Amino acid sequence: MEKTRKPLALLLSLPVLAWAFFDFANTIFSANIVTLFFPQYITAVVGDNPQLEQIASTIIAYANAASAVLLILFSPLYGVVMDRTGRRKRFVMIFTLITVTGAILMGIFGDMNTGLLLGLPNGLVITIIIFVIAKFGFSSGNVFYDGMLSSLGKKEEIPLISGFGVALGYLGTLFGIITVMYLVGDAGVHNTFWMSGVLFLIFALPLFFINKDKHVKKSTSSSKSFLTGYKDIYHTFKEAKSYPSIFFFMIAYFFVNDALATAIAMMQPYATTVVGFSPSDFLVVFMVATGFSIVGALVFGFVNKALGSKKTFLIISILLGAAITVAAVPLPMWTFWIAASMFGIAMGSVWVVSRTMIIELAPPGREGQFFGLFAFSAKMSAIIGPFIYGTITLALSQYGPLASRIAITSLLVMVIIGIIFHTFVKEASEDDAMRVE
């Protein structure tokens, strides 16, 4: 039997290192474009008074929800494709190229203003549409990327590999922000889009060239119709009810991810239009939060190994709820640094634990299919959270910053609901005993 590798040897093996560098690469896109510069761009173009700032928040939230709708339409196919073909890297490459192309096009059209489209500058409208497609590509690629994790090591090695990937990812965040800000300087914010896309591509190349997919023999199921994938994911959902822990965990993650994904998307407009940070000051806040994300990803990889996934996920959820509470209450500005630090820890660690829990709780050999269902659950929440947030800011826009405070409070409700469902999750060994035949 193959011995468990020492941590350093494990993490520095080429397939693991290349896989982790893709986390370094894709967080450049998610941090620079999704969290920072796309919201800054929208707020700068749309909002020049308190009411319009809330309208800008609505646009940002709805754009994120729209990209999640696209993923909902296609994600039922992804897990089935992984299990049937074994192909993960190929689709990571395809969706990465879609994302990079979108980022470059956002940089081209972001500065265009040659007329009106839907009553708005045409460059703005086109940039929003491209953002929706680019984020869809980014999220789709991550489904296949996460699916590669189980092939990188033994079950007991997975938490450390996952934590290493997330930690290296947040180093990518810091690198991406500093590099892009240095190169762009005082040029228009739209230039950050294409530059972030190019950096994403550069650091994704190691995975493209080093990692390999496992060979899977073709089966007769590969000849089934396109719609079979949706039927399979429906049957997987029904089957998940026979595995109580993975079923309840997906519901819990649905609500916790609802809060997390929405907070990530809305952090920049909230901090600048409600708390009062300037865009440049917020960059510092975000980099501090990212630093805590690195710590969270590394530390919680070991915490997860020591305490188990269930307790670790509960701790992270409570921490996220505390961060949202501090941010929602009208406290002195310095308290937002505390909220950002707690949020950073939660942000850096939640994916470490959630990816590990799916591998632990999924039936052997069916991880890809349950990752597809997991992505479906996560992205359904990514529709609802931003939609609720954006609807609140739109409906209450006349109240200015109060609208955003009420909107962010709705995220705390989501976390509490998630924690309640998580109490029904059992550890993998206990779940075997509870499984419904």
> Of the candidates 259, 301, 240, 245, which has an alpha carbon nearest to the alpha carbon of residue 422?
245
pLDDT of residue 200: 95
Coil/strand/helix, residue 121: strand
Share of the chain above pLDDT 70, in %: 89
Tokens 């809060």: give the residue: 259
pLDDT of 227 over the 60 cut = yes
Domains and CATH numbers, the chain: 16-210+229-434 (1.20.1250.20)
Q: Are 122 and 115 in contact (CB under 8 A)?
A: yes
pTM of the model: 0.80
Both tokens of 365, joined, read 């050999």
* Cα torsion 428, 432, 435, 437: sign: positive
Give tens-digit pLDDT for 384-403: 889 999 999 999 999 988 99
Closest by CA to 193, choosing from 101, 56, 123, is 101
**What are the tokens at 309?**
């996934």
pLDDT at residue 186, rounded to an integer: 81
pLDDT at 165: 80
12-61 per-position pLDDT tens digit:
778 888 888 999 999 899 989 998 999 999 988 887 788 888 999 999 99
Determine contact, residues 96/200, Cβ cutoff 8 Å. yes
Would you list the DSSP string of 39-62?
A: HHHHHHHH-SSHHHHHHHHHHHHH
SS3 2: coil
φ/ψ of 121, rounded to 5, equals -55, 135
- Compute the C-alpha angle 91/92/98, nearest 5°: 90
**167 phi and psi, to 5 degrees?**
-60, -45
All residues at 6 or more sequence positions from 370 whose CB lies less than 8 Å from its CB, including other chains: 79, 236, 240, 246, 358, 361, 362, 363
> Cα(137)–Cα(147) distance, rounded to whole angstroms?
16
Residue 188 confidence (pLDDT) above 60: yes
* Mean pLDDT of the residues in the chain: 83
